[in-house]
Amino acid sequence: MSNILVTGGAGYIGSHTVHALIEAGHRVTVVDNLYSGHRWAVHADARFVECDIADDQCVRSVIKDDQIEAVIHFAGHIVVPESVADPLMYYQNNVVGSLSLTKACAQMGIKKLVFSSSAAVYGSPAEVPVNEETNQNPINPYGTTKLVTEWTLRDLSEAKADFQYVALRYFNVAGAHSNGKLGQSTPEATHLIKVACQTATGQRDSMSVFGTDYPTADGTCIRDYIHVEDLAQAHLDALTYLDQGGTSTAINCGYGRGYSVSEVVSCVKKVSQVDFCVELSPRRAGDPAELIADNAKIRQLLSWKPRFNDLEIICKSAYEWEKQILSN
């Protein structure tokens, strides 16, 4: 497969994946409405089309004109607290938009699709680490919208024998590209490592730890953090799997190791050598106590080999990115 359509390719994870695709020799077309993405983040060798995935005519035209053979679908809203506050916006964009895209793909004969899903589909699992068979019971609208799209792809795959997909269920994505040219630039980001790095670089006066009374060793939430470049590679591995005749499936993307919020904050303080201000705040709605991936499936099925499985590497790359933002 050489002609790949990437929706949301101007966003954080999408832009890293576009770079990896082009470095691997693929021809890439990016469709993005630039709601939270950035034009500068799109690789210079990718064709860029500014449109919304709900624009059926535009999407079908791109698929036809660029002879698209496979789709990687990132485009979607991703902020959990925002989804709790404005669920209709999330259903409109993440569900209705994804449905429109999927319909266009089916009409235009696309047979392979990789979907940007989330560990939020698991909600608050009774046991961790969670594998792909763990009960999916999301506790926030963001997770629900991801699960609904997974169901849509599953049902389409069962109805059309020649359509196959991989839903990659991300755990907590962080870090920046090792070339120093890409990083997380989402407006008003809520991701812990980025917020901590912004505080370390003085872009914020302080940061909050939401909840210190969870049933964990230090009372703060535990998450499985994955470097964005390793996640980008997982998308390439998923395309290879489908190209080699792989069947539709959902796969966890994580390292299988959890760190608490307090541990992450301490790590950012260590790599930055800045003792920034941290405030203790009440829990946020929609946050499970602990989410850690069982990643046996991605290692076995996709032969995925992560290169940045180290919290200090993740935090250091994120911190260097924030310093670069300040210097520009």
Neighbours of 79 (CB within 10 A): 17
pTM of the predicted protein model: 0.95
Name the residue range of residue 133's domain.
Answer: 3-174+225-253
| 245 in the same domain as 112 | yes
Mean model confidence pLDDT for the chain? 96
| 87 in the same domain as 214 | no
| 248 in the same domain as 260 | no
Higher pLDDT, 316 or 127: 316
Among residues 12, 90, 142, 241, the one annotated as catalytic is 142
| 234 in the same domain as 210 | no
In a domain, 298, yes or no: no
In a domain, 275, yes or no: yes
| 60 in the same domain as 198 | no
Q: What is the pLDDT of residue 21?
A: 98
CATH (domain of 217): 3.90.25.10
Contact, 260 vs 218, CB < 8 A? yes
Neighbours of 300 (CB within 10 A): 10
| 99 in the same domain as 233 | yes
| 202 in the same domain as 243 | no
38-61 pLDDT, tens digit per residue, is: 999 999 999 999 999 999 999 999
CATH (domain of 104): 3.40.50.720
| 269 in the same domain as 168 | no
Q: What is the pLDDT of residue 271?
A: 98
| 150 in the same domain as 279 | no
| 216 in the same domain as 104 | no
143 CB-contact burial (10 Å; exposed 0-12 / middle 13-18 / buried 19+) = buried
Amino acid type, 320: E
In a domain, 206, yes or no: yes
- Give first-to-last CA distance, the chain, whole Å: 37
Give the range among 77-86, 151-160, 213-222 with minimum mean pLDDT.
77-86
| 215 in the same domain as 89 | no
In a domain, 315, yes or no: yes
| 162 in the same domain as 90 | yes
Is 142 among the residues known to form the active site?
yes
Q: What is the count of structural domains for the chain?
A: 2
